[in-house]
Structure 1
Amino acid sequence: MRLIHPHITPSAEAVGITFDCRPLSALPGETVAAALSAAGILAYRHTASGAPRGLWCGMGACFDCLVTIDGRANQRACLAKVAPGMVVESAPPAAPAPLAPEPASQAAEIAPDVLVVGAGPAGLSAAIAAAEAGCSVVLLDERDAAGGQYLKPLAASHAHAAPDRQFRQAAALRARAEAAGVVFQHGATVWGAFAPDELGVLVGGRNMVARPRRLVLAPGAHERPVPIPGWTLPGVMTTGALQTLARANRVSPGRRVVVAGNGPLNLQLACELVEGGVEVAAVLEAAPKPGFRAWREAVTLAARAPDLAWDGVRYLAVLRRAGVKVIWGAMPERVEPATDGLTLHAEAPGGPRAVTAQAVALNLGFQPETGLARALGCAHRFTDSGLGRLETITGPDGRTSLAQVLAIGDGAQIGGARIALARGRLAGLAAARDLGRAVPDDAASRTALARAEAFQAALWRLFEVPGFDASRLADDTVVCRCEEVSAGALRAAMAQGACSLGSLKKATRAGMGRCQGRMCAATVARIAGAGTEPDWAAPRAPVKPIPALALAMEKPEWTEAPSFEAVSLPRDAGEGRGGGRARSETACDLLVIGAGVLGLAIARAAAREGLHVVALDRGEPGQGASTANAGSLHVQLHAYDSAGAAEGPESAAAQILTLGPRSVALWRDIARESGEALAIRTEGGLMLAETEAQLRALADKVAMERDFGVISSLLGANELYAAAPWLAPGFAGAAFCAEEGQMDPLRGLSALLRLAREAGAEIRGATPVTALSREGSVFRAETPEGVIRAARVVNAAGPWAGQIAARLGAPIPVRATVQQVIATEAAGAELLRPLVLHGSRHLSLKQGDAGHLILGGAWPGELDAAGRPRNLRASIEGNLWVARSVLPAIEGLHVIRAWTGLNVLIPGPILGADQRVPGLFHAVTFNGWTLAPVIAELIAEALRGGKGPPAVFSPSAYESRS
């Protein structure tokens, strides 16, 4: 329904749009979500499981309100603005239209003195202060007008003859910023923070690089998830979402609404709805009804901010006059479909309550948007309040642990608009002062900050509610909205050994969807028992889904990825994870150092031989490179391996050819034994040739592969395009290996870990080997938990294998490199079945069973200042450019995330017994995911005195190169 107001009127005539072929009347300038809500349409799409979804956050953070607009897939209805003749559809199109303009060859650069991210109260205040001090200031915001959530302006669809105080304040701040020379860039998304002076920014669909001298982060907050049964139903949304519909767009999703949760925002919304002609069934407030002791807080509120205190009194009076019940101490429990809408059930002091309405608004607090600050490495803390949240550690003026970065507003620490305004001004002045501007101290802003902080503290003492109890979540409660992961699935994964937020994500896919964990990370962290910042999953670039086309920019290829000595990563030693366990001594037949895919496969194989096996990992088993890889099952030679194969059947390249098909067959055996398919598909692999010369080289490669028993063939251009019509035009042909394929590395690793334990192997995580020596006929390994004595040792430590070997006086040439993988959203149709490689460029490309594309190809990343692997902007852009040059359909897809992992850089596989140290075996290889099962068999064979790995892989072959 459309709201009524004596002073607010439409600013233009209605236009026609359609939703799933249904004609609708809409106002130009309102959001698509507003137009659908006005028409009573609450369900916008269906998830992969068939569940209906509609509006949730209303601010572009949750990505639940996705629709297709004029052929462009997965557009956010809450942000997209109505245009005449717009065609809106609930389902993705079979052939999505391009999502961005044709990109330039390279990203344009902007280099202001001060870059402010976020145009809410904090960002506006900081931008004004810095600009008035003489700095050049650029302000970026994702919306089409400044103001943020608190100072959101009226949509362009309406005009206001008598704006209220919030509208007037927003207009005044915008005007002051413009007068000071602030350059506004609306429709701007900061998709990656790679350094304080290197931010990837999308403006109007164009990729840019921001290189400011000072960076001010003011990205605001999003409402925290309210994981109760039914919170994903269409018509259930956050209070902020409903307020944006009502206050900015003048619509309501129903004539009768119930508002529940905690805090004065719920009261304000209820009043605005009542004044707009909506029936508010009730306001359910989780805080207890204020009693006599609350008068002290009320006095503080009145003294520190009398206008805001008066607003609270007015809200209650308006609701009382309208006959709206405010039920105190009522905690929402679940939402259920009802004949005439939805029924909200709550627990209240007087007993259970049930309220039926057409729409339900929920708010139980806010979560800071800390992704950019965390990506840059700013120090953070865990605040144990409500659901719990991460906050950026700052000074009063927003200074972070990084000299060039300031963080302010609710995007750093939850505090409300007045704190944001004061800290924003102090931050803007501090940035100007850093850049040499003569800026005096602003005592008035510091006083305003102190008053605002006192007001806020009193307010939340008045509205205090009990903390979040994860144990009360029913197993069938959806926790991750994007991937539809339940609390029960998370608990089951923990029961199977996942013991951190990171491993829970990999085991269940919770937090891996479009919202990047904004709507579930805190809940998952609570279930996992995470209590400090390092326990939380690291932010990934892009921090929000970005059109792949916009980032596709050609970058130079390389011959060798950057490498380095592997370093210890934060928390490797297991601080805070069982550090209080008693030290002990263990004796075993075999110690496996490294519990990635190779180590686990070897531990399983050896345990099945009857050996007492202990496998150690410095972190969490299998959570390193093994689950950071793309899951390709490579059988054919890469183009750069062909020359090595020409050396003959005993060459390393030729021997790898003989191992690949055998290992893929063993993966199928593992799948059968685990009772899971593990998404294994072997539908072939293409290696593309751009030129006739490349095709001739591929012909030689195919001949070699066939000589060694690999099923491989050469396709000319006509044969290639008959089999792969989805390819970009212009390829001369391809090599096709019938035995190549892919699998799900997350499920594969979980299955292998479970099978290793079932075979009797003892797997210990967070247990680094701090010292290793040979004492007589046994090895002695020191760990934080105690000493392990083993008859034999397998060195499967991946990038750290060289360090392990050196401790025993048997060095091997192992270095580390950082490699990148990119994932897109699911396509609406099947695009390709085979694995696709490029004969002269770095690319591996495949489509998973869920429809998403996985892009790899060994594009490099780097280590950050803390020694953690992270993405390079140029690698993301270059990887996407190559992918687009192969698969044009990627132009209609968004990139969901890119991640990196440490991998080994070695001259060739190093496998088998080390003659220098009796009882020492090495298992280090590239392509370790594909080859792990067969290498495990070969190592097990060597352990029982058999032939073992081919001699060409012997550690002695590399002694002169170490």
Structure 2
Amino acid sequence: MRLTHAAIRPSAEAVGITFDGRPIPALYGETLAAALSAAGELTLRYTQSGAPRGLHCGMGACFDCLVTIDGRANQRACLAKVTPGMVVERAAPAQPAPLAPPPHAQAEEVACDLLVVGAGPAGLSAAIAAAEAGCHVVALDERDAPGGQYLKPLAASHEHAAPDRQFRQGAELRARAIAAGVQFRFGATVWGGFAADEIAALVEGRNLVFRPQRLVIAAGSHERPVPIPGWTLPGVMTTGCLQTLARANRVSPGDRVVIAGNGPLNLQLACELVEGGVQVAAVLEAAPFPGFRGMRQALRLAAGAPDLAWDGARYLAVLKRAGVPVIWGARPVAAEGETRFVALHASTPRGETRIAADALALNLGFQPETGLARALGCAHRFIDSGLGRLETVTDSNGRTSLPTVFAVGDGAQVGGARIAFARGRLAGLAAARDLRPGLEDDAVSRRALARAIGFQDALWRFFAVPEFDARSLADSTLVCRCEEVSAGTLRAAMADGAASLGAVKKATRAGMGRCQGRMCGATVARIAGAAEEAGWAAPRAPLKPVPAIALAMEKPEWLEGPAVQPAPILPAHRAPATGPAEACDVLVVGGGALGLSTALYCAREGLSVILAERGEPGQGATTGNAGSLHIQLHAYDSAGAEEGPESAAAQVLAIGPASVALWREIAAEAGEGLGIRTEGGIMLVETPEQLERLVAKVAMERSFGVDSRVLGANELMSVAPYLAPGFAGAAFCAPEGQMDPLRGLSALYALVRRAGVSVRGGTTIAAVVREGAGFRAETAAGGVIRAGQLVNACGPWAGELGKMLGAPIPVQAAVQQVMVTEAASGEIMRHLVLHGSRHLSAKQGDAGHLVLGGAWPGVLDAAGRPRNLRESIEGNLFVAGTVLPALAGLQLIRAWTGLNVQVPGPILGADARVPGLHHAVTFNGWTLGPVAGRLVAEGIRGGAGAGRAFSPGRF
């Protein structure tokens, strides 16, 4: 329905749009979500499981309101503005239209004194302060006007004859910012923070890189998720979402609404709805009725901000006159409905109640948007309040642990608008003072900040609620809206051995969808027991999904990726060895796919095995890889094949198919397919000269019994019509394919434990020496393990462990990148696609997403953690775009990096220099892990093992 108001009226012409072929009346300038809500269309899409979804957050954070607009798939209805003749559909088309125009050759670089990310109260205040001090200020915001949630302006579809205080304040600040010379860039999505002076953003579809001297992050917050049964139903939305519909667009999704949660925002929304003609069934406030207990806080509120305190009293009076019950001490329990929301079940001091309504608004607090600050490496702290949250650590001016970066407003620490105004101004002045020495401090703003902090403290004491208990979530309750993961699934993963939040995510895919954990990250962290920043999932570029084609920019390539030096495996400190030593036949050091496989096959040979992993088994490159099952020789890892069929690189051809067969055996034992598909790998070439070299490569592969052949240009297009035209031909390797590394790791790990291997996560081997006929290993925690045989499966650190024993091997490390798009609406490709002269691997997973790799490099940050490079993301997407035209219609969801091994061919088997020492190290460790582990285990039992081609002795 459309709201009524004596002073607000439509000012835009009515335009016609269609939704799934049905005509919908709309107003030019309102959001698509508003037009559809006014027409009663609440179900906007269906998930892969067939569940209906609709508008939820209303601010572009949850990605639930996705629709197809004029052929462009997965557009956010809450941000898209109505245009005449717009064609909107729930389902994505088989061939989506490109999401962005072809990009320029390289990203445009924009220099400025100060870059402000976010133009809400804090960002506007910072930008104005710095600009009025003489700085060149650029402010970015994802919307089409500044103001944020608190100061959001009325949509262009309406005009207000008597705007209230918030509308007037927003207009005044916008005018002041423009007068001061602030340069606004709207429609701006910051997709990556690669350094304090390298902020990547898409601005109206164009890829820009901002190079500021100072950076203010004012990214705001999103509403805290309220995971109750039914919270994903169309018609269930956040309070901020419904307020945006009502306040900015003059629309309600129904005639009767119920509001539940905590805090004054719910009361304000209820009043705005009542004044617009909506029936508010009830407002449920989680805090207990204040009574005499609340009088002291009420007095503090009135002293700290009389105008806001008066607003609160007015809200209660308006609701009382309208007959709206305000029920204190009440909590939402479940949202009822099949295809849309129909009623709320709630617990109240008088017992459980059912309230029928057309829509439900939920707010139980806010979560800061810390993604950019965390991506840059700013220090954060865990706040153990409510659901729990991370906040950016800053000084009194908003300066973070990075001297040139400031973080202010609710995006740094949740505190409300008054605190945001004051902190924003102080940060803007501090940043300007760095560049324009001599600027005076603002004592008025500091006093205002102190008053605002006192007011906010009193406010949340007045509205105090019990802490969140993750145990209260029923197993059936969905926690991750994007991937449809329930609380029970998370708990089952933990019961199966996932000991960290990262492992829980990888085992369940929770937090890996389009919203990138915004709607579930805190809940998942609570269930997983994460109580510090290190336990939370790291932010990934892009920080929000962006059109993949918009970032596709050609970059120089290389023959061999740059090597890096990972942090030493040896701990800086270790406890003295105490207690009795444990004994085993085989100690495997390293818990990746290769170490786990070696342990598995050793145990199946009847050997007692301890596997020591300093982190959590399988949580490094094993689950960070792209899941390709490589067999044919690669452009960038097989140069040694030119040395002849006896080289280690060529000899890999003899074991690759056997390893894929072992993966199938592991899948059979696990009782599920693990996403294994071997429908062929295609290696593309662009020129006749490259095709000639491909013929020689295929001949060598066939000499090892690999089913490989050359495809000419015409045959290639008949086999793979999804490819871009113009390739000279390709090699087709029939047994190549892909699998899901997350499911594969879970299956392998379960078999290892079932075989009786004692797996020791969080166990660093600090020292190891020969002792008698075996080895004595001491752990960093002071434990002692005696083993007859030792397996070095340390991956990038294998050279370090070998050197510790006097048996160095040539192992280097490389940071390599993998990317994934959103799921396509249908099947694009069945093959694994490689490029013969460029760095690319591409495949489509079972869920429909494209996985892109090809060994594009990342870097190690100051803490030794792998990080993405912007140039690698852009270059990888450029190559993928030249191969797969369908990429133009897809969003990039995330890019990540892993620390991979660089070796001149596998190093497998006994080291003659140290009796009892065996190495298990190889590139392409995912594909080759099972067969390499079995060969090493066979050698330990006195069998033929890996043979001379892979022997450490060849060095």
TM-score range, shorter chain: over 0.9
| Other-structure match for 2:925 | 928
Give distance in 1, aligned partners of 2:262 and 2:581: 53
Distance of aligned partners of 1:321 and 1:881 in 2 relative to their CA distance in 1, 3 Å threshold: same
Q: Does 1:879 align with 2:871?
A: no
| Other-structure match for 1:81 | 81
| Other-structure match for 1:105 | 105
Distance of aligned partners of 1:339 and 1:319 in 2 relative to their CA distance in 1, 3 Å threshold: farther
Distance of aligned partners of 1:240 and 1:583 in 2 relative to their CA distance in 1, 3 Å threshold: farther
Contact 1:861 1:900 in 2 (8 A): yes
| Other-structure match for 1:157 | 157
> Unaligned regions of 5+ residues in structure 2, if any?
none
Query: Could you say what secondary structure the match of 2:937 adopts?
Result: helix
* Structure 1 residue 646: Cα displacement: 4.4
Give distance in 2, aligned partners of 1:540 and 1:443: 39
Q: Does 1:457 align with 2:457?
A: yes
Give distance in 1, aligned partners of 2:707 and 2:203: 48
* Structure 1 residue 568: Cα displacement: 4.8
Give distance in 1, aligned partners of 2:638 and 2:949: 16
Give distance in 1, aligned partners of 2:674 and 2:7: 61
Contact 1:344 1:354 in 2 (8 A): yes
| Other-structure match for 1:227 | 227
The AA in structure 2 aligned to 1:743 is M
* Structure 1 residue 645: Cα displacement: 2.9
Contact 1:573 1:767 in 2 (8 A): no
* Structure 1 residue 784: Cα displacement: 3.0
The AA in structure 2 aligned to 1:230 is G
Give distance in 2, aligned partners of 1:188 and 1:330: 39
* Structure 1 residue 773: Cα displacement: 1.1
Match of 2:655 among 654, 659, 662: 659
Contact 1:574 1:766 in 2 (8 A): no
Q: Does 1:848 align with 2:859?
A: no
Contact 1:573 1:766 in 2 (8 A): no
Distance of aligned partners of 1:640 and 1:143 in 2 relative to their CA distance in 1, 3 Å threshold: closer
| Other-structure match for 1:945 | 942
| Other-structure match for 1:16 | 16
Match of 2:686 among 675, 686, 690: 690
* Structure 1 residue 584: Cα displacement: 5.5
| Other-structure match for 1:127 | 127
Q: Does 1:793 align with 2:777?
A: no
Give distance in 1, aligned partners of 2:934 and 2:336: 54
Match of 1:732 among 728, 731, 734: 728
| Other-structure match for 1:633 | 629
Give distance in 1, aligned partners of 2:540 and 2:516: 8
Give distance in 1, aligned partners of 2:209 and 2:353: 53
Contact 1:583 1:784 in 2 (8 A): no
- Structure 1, residues 215-246: CA drift from partner, whole Å, max 9, x if none? 00000000011000000000000000000000
Give distance in 2, aligned partners of 1:587 and 1:604: 18
Give distance in 2, aligned partners of 1:288 and 1:507: 39
| Other-structure match for 1:359 | 359
Mean alpha-carbon deviation: is it higher for 637-646 or for 103-112?
637-646
Correspondence list, 1:246-285, <5 A: 246-285=246-285
Task: Extract structure 1 runs of 4+ deviating beyond 4 A.
Answer: 338-341, 572-575, 579-584, 640-643
Contact 2:224 2:363 in 1 (8 A): yes
Correspondence list, 1:507-906, <5 A: 507-568=507-568, 585-640=581-636, 644-785=640-781, 786-906=783-903
The AA in structure 2 aligned to 1:634 is H
- Structure 1, residues 777-829: CA drift from partner, whole Å, max 9, x if none? 22111113411111110000001111111110111111111000000001111
- Structure 1, residues 713-771: CA drift from partner, whole Å, max 9, x if none? 00000100111111111100000000000000000001000100000001111111111
Correspondence list, 1:182-221, <5 A: 182-221=182-221
Contact 1:639 1:698 in 2 (8 A): no
Mean alpha-carbon deviation: is it higher for 769-778 or for 88-97?
769-778
Distance of aligned partners of 1:441 and 1:889 in 2 relative to their CA distance in 1, 3 Å threshold: same
| Other-structure match for 1:240 | 240
The AA in structure 2 aligned to 1:542 is P
* Structure 1 residue 653: Cα displacement: 2.3
- Structure 1, residues 298-344: CA drift from partner, whole Å, max 9, x if none? 11100010000000000000000000000000011111117995111
Give distance in 2, aligned partners of 1:641 and 1:426: 53
The AA in structure 2 aligned to 1:172 is E
TM-score, length-scaled by structure 2: 0.99
Give distance in 1, aligned partners of 2:511 and 2:441: 43
The AA in structure 2 aligned to 1:882 is V
Query: Could you say what secondary structure the match of 1:211 adopts?
Result: strand
Give distance in 2, aligned partners of 1:704 and 1:48: 43
Contact 1:32 1:79 in 2 (8 A): yes
Contact 2:852 2:880 in 1 (8 A): yes
- Structure 1, residues 906-943: CA drift from partner, whole Å, max 9, x if none? 12211110000000000100011011111111111101
Mean alpha-carbon deviation: is it higher for 561-570 or for 141-150?
561-570
| Other-structure match for 1:371 | 371
Give distance in 1, aligned partners of 2:904 and 2:461: 63
* Structure 1 residue 8: Cα displacement: 0.8
Aligned residues between the structures: 954
Give distance in 2, aligned partners of 1:374 and 1:214: 17
- Structure 1, residues 445-468: CA drift from partner, whole Å, max 9, x if none? 000000000000000000010111
Contact 2:559 2:636 in 1 (8 A): no
Contact 1:280 1:324 in 2 (8 A): yes
Contact 1:547 1:891 in 2 (8 A): yes
Give distance in 1, aligned partners of 2:341 and 2:710: 61
| Other-structure match for 1:294 | 294
Mean alpha-carbon deviation: is it higher for 415-424 or for 340-349?
340-349
Give distance in 2, aligned partners of 1:339 and 1:702: 55
Give distance in 2, aligned partners of 1:582 and 1:300: 58
| Other-structure match for 1:146 | 146
Give distance in 2, aligned partners of 1:640 and 1:238: 50
- Structure 1, residues 677-735: CA drift from partner, whole Å, max 9, x if none? 00000000000010010111101111111111000000000100111111111100000
Distance of aligned partners of 1:338 and 1:68 in 2 relative to their CA distance in 1, 3 Å threshold: closer
Contact 1:573 1:618 in 2 (8 A): no
Q: Give the root-mean-square deviation of aligned CA atoms.
A: 1.5
Contact 2:233 2:340 in 1 (8 A): no
- Structure 1, residues 496-521: CA drift from partner, whole Å, max 9, x if none? 00011100110000000000100001
The AA in structure 1 aligned to 2:719 is A
Give distance in 2, aligned partners of 1:654 and 1:364: 60
Contact 2:127 2:428 in 1 (8 A): yes
Correspondence list, 1:365-514, <5 A: 365-514=365-514
Give distance in 2, aligned partners of 1:403 and 1:56: 37
Distance of aligned partners of 1:530 and 1:737 in 2 relative to their CA distance in 1, 3 Å threshold: same
* Structure 1 residue 209: Cα displacement: 0.3
Give distance in 1, aligned partners of 2:340 and 2:407: 46
Distance of aligned partners of 1:204 and 1:640 in 2 relative to their CA distance in 1, 3 Å threshold: closer
Give distance in 1, aligned partners of 2:700 and 2:931: 21
Query: Could you say what secondary structure the match of 2:212 adopts?
Result: coil
The AA in structure 2 aligned to 1:840 is S
Distance of aligned partners of 1:321 and 1:97 in 2 relative to their CA distance in 1, 3 Å threshold: same
Give distance in 2, aligned partners of 1:346 and 1:542: 38
Match of 2:906 among 904, 909, 912: 909
The AA in structure 2 aligned to 1:859 is W
